Structure 1
């Protein structure tokens, strides 16, 4: 089973989503390397994808299916935090949770946001 660190970033009443090229929106995150913990992967992936670093992450829960397990973390970000897309990410945007459920987004993104509503 593939292990993934996924981060739900809140700022005021909105959640941060990222997009790679023309793909669907998703929560920031990625594969956990063999040499790192889920928390280390969450910090690394968040910074690699959005330039956001130095904020506390809290472990929420595991979410997954047959092939992939998401270790889901939460961050409450200050109002002045401005994510910048980098690496494979081309867009970073803030959305209200209800709006996310109507977007072309990954199934795990929809389900994780639904659990947090």
Structure 2
């Protein structure tokens, strides 16, 4: 099973998604290299994909798919933090959690967001 670091960036009640050119939105992240920890991979991937550096990351949970295990982190960003597409990323965009279910996304992105933000919940797992 491949190990992946995935980051939920939270700012002004919105989540950052990235688009790699396959017309699908996803959470920032990528494969964990052999010589790095999940948090190191999360920091590296966030920087490589969005140019966001120096912000805290908190571990949330593991999410398992058929062939990938996502180590999911959250970064609560200040209002002045700006994501810029970099590396293989074509676009970065902020979405309200409820909107994500209506987008074309990767399955793990949709499921991870659903775990964090259920329409029936009064609070999120980020609060």
- Tell me if structure 1 keeps the 8 A contact 2:31–2:41: yes
Aligned partner of 1:39 in structure 2 is 39
Structure-to-structure mapping, 1:87-102, within 5 angstroms:
87-102=87-102
Aligned partner of 2:125 in structure 1 is none
For residue 65 of structure 1, report the CA deviation from its aligned partner: 2.0
Instruction: Give the CA RMSD over aligned residues.
Output: 0.6
Residues 77-116 of structure 1: CA distance to partner in whole angstroms, max 9, x if unpaired? 0001110001100000000000001100000000000000
Aligned partner of 1:58 in structure 2 is 58
TM-score (norm: length of structure 1): 0.98
CA distance in 2, matches of 1:48, 1:37: 16
For residue 34 of structure 1, report the CA deviation from its aligned partner: 0.2
Aligned partner of 1:78 in structure 2 is 78
Say which SS state the counterpart of residue 70 (structure 2) adopts.
Answer: strand
CA distance in 1, matches of 2:112, 2:96: 14
Any stretches of 5+ residues in structure 2 without a counterpart? 118-127
Any stretches of 5+ residues in structure 1 without a counterpart? none
| Pair 1:69-2:45 in alignment | no
Runs of 4+ in 1 over 6 A off after TM superposition: none
- Tell me if structure 1 keeps the 8 A contact 2:65–2:108: no
Structure number with the bigger relative contact order (C-alpha 8 A, sep ≥ 6) is: 1
